[in-house]
Amino acid sequence: MPKESMTPKERWQAVLQREKPDRLPMDYWSTPEATDKLLRHLGIATMRDLYERLHIDKVITVGPLLIGSTAGPRYVGPEVDPHTDVFGCRSRPVDYGTGVYNETIYHPLAQYDSVDEIEADYHWPEHDWWDYSGLADQVRGWEDYPIQGGGSEPFLTYKSLRGMEQAYMDLVLNPEMVHYCLDKLFDLAYVRTQRIYEQLSGKVMLSYVAEDLGGQTGLLFAPAHIREFLLPRMKRMMDLAHEAGVYVFHHTDGAARDIIPDLIETGIDILNPIQWRCPGMEREGLKRDFGDRLVFHGAVDNQYTLAFGSVEEVRQEVRDNIRILGAGGGYVIAPCHNIQAVSPPENVVALYEEGLEAGWM
């Protein structure tokens, strides 16, 4: 096997700049439960040990510290507890057997019927509720790895504020409320991203500008709603990133094929997670139609292959992804979203071992 000649950061930079890396970079996404199983399986203790053992070119995500308000309530909502976020959305942990997820149980904007009511009664978070002074410490020691900071995913927050069903209904029934709230949420994200860039000038490689647009068989939104409510605001975030020399990492689950041309026109650089078993997301078609304009990230299937497939099936899928998505470059090997605890650690190890063996350029 050839000797590695690049750092993880250099490997990512080469792929993003359409240059030839020594090998394809490999990223890691996982639930805490799956990571604990993997660490025990390998007999190691830290995430750094994991990255080095499996040659993972992990993206290191940084962000400001929430300190709250000195002039008013840090949280809005019926009570303050560890499961109440800065927007007043309260959640509870739900154990699904293979993992624990926080599910929102209180939606602070669900009670309102108009923008006027929200403005009169609801306290939006303020920009100075976050402290950015510790960002340099978060980067220290990870200089050889790609750094991700800033970005946005406001409709995800809007669903927590209003309730998922009501949030989607609002697109038709209360469009003025959606526009008002998304303006507030995108403004928070924009200023936060600006301040991260200022504190870490020249050190941020990626920003996560995301929304879950696709479901298992098709889009979760009408394309017209994506174009009206999301893309113009996302473009503002993407323009900010590009002006700072930062690449836009876009995440959307599921069958999102119909909106990919719009996302490219808006400014995404990387598309994740490539759920290729969903209709329209076949790897050959994505590479053929968009491979000259996108870097693909992910594509090692979580729904069957990693969770229920054999070690050889995992290895074969990694080889197929490299052959199809990695042809001529433009691919980062990674799981298709977070590895779940149901996935045998042997399969996870096989993903990275095969990526290391087959990913040399």
> Would you state the pLDDT for residue 69?
55
Which of 218, 220, 209 has its CA nearest to residue 169?
A: 220
Tell me the backbone φ, ψ of residue 270, rounded to 5 degrees: -125, 135
What is d(CA 210, CA 212) in angstroms, rounded to the nearest whole number? 7
> Would you state the pLDDT for residue 76?
45
pTM for the whole structure: 0.95
Which of 225, 199, 212, 208 has its CA nearest to residue 252?
A: 212
Contact 207, 146 (CB under 8 A): no
Tell me the backbone φ, ψ of residue 310, rounded to 5 degrees: -85, 165
Residues present in the chain in total: 361
> Would you state the pLDDT for residue 1?
83
Angstrom CA distances, 11 to 51, 210, 244, stand at 14, 23, 20
What is d(CA 25, CA 13) in angstroms, rounded to the nearest whole number? 10
> Would you state the pLDDT for residue 97?
87
> Would you state the pLDDT for residue 83?
82
Contact 209, 249 (CB under 8 A): yes
Question: What is the per-residue DSSP string for 291-304?
Answer: TTT-EEEEEE-TTT
Beta-carbon contacts of residue 150 (< 8 Å; ≥ 6 apart): 189, 192, 193, 194, 196, 197, 204, 207, 208, 241, 246
What is d(CA 40, CA 272) in angstroms, rounded to the nearest whole number? 28
Take residue 319 and report the two structure tokens written for it.
Answer: 């080889």
> Would you state the pLDDT for residue 80?
54
> Would you state the pLDDT for residue 71?
43
Angstrom CA distances, 358 to 15, 18, 168, 202, 296, stand at 16, 19, 43, 32, 17
CA-angle at 295, arms to 293 and 296, nearest 5°: 125
Per-residue pLDDT of the chain (361 residues; tens, 9 = 90+): 899 999 999 999 999 999 999 999 999 999 999 999 999 999 999 999 999 999 999 999 999 998 865 444 444 444 456 788 889 899 999 999 888 999 999 999 999 999 999 999 999 999 999 999 999 999 999 999 999 999 999 999 999 999 999 999 999 999 999 999 999 999 999 999 999 999 999 999 999 999 999 999 999 999 999 999 999 999 999 999 999 999 999 999 999 999 999 999 999 999 999 999 999 999 999 999 999 999 999 999 999 999 999 999 999 999 999 999 999 999 999 999 999 999 999 999 999 999 999 999 8
Is domain 8-70+123-358 in CATH 3.20.20.210, yes or no? yes
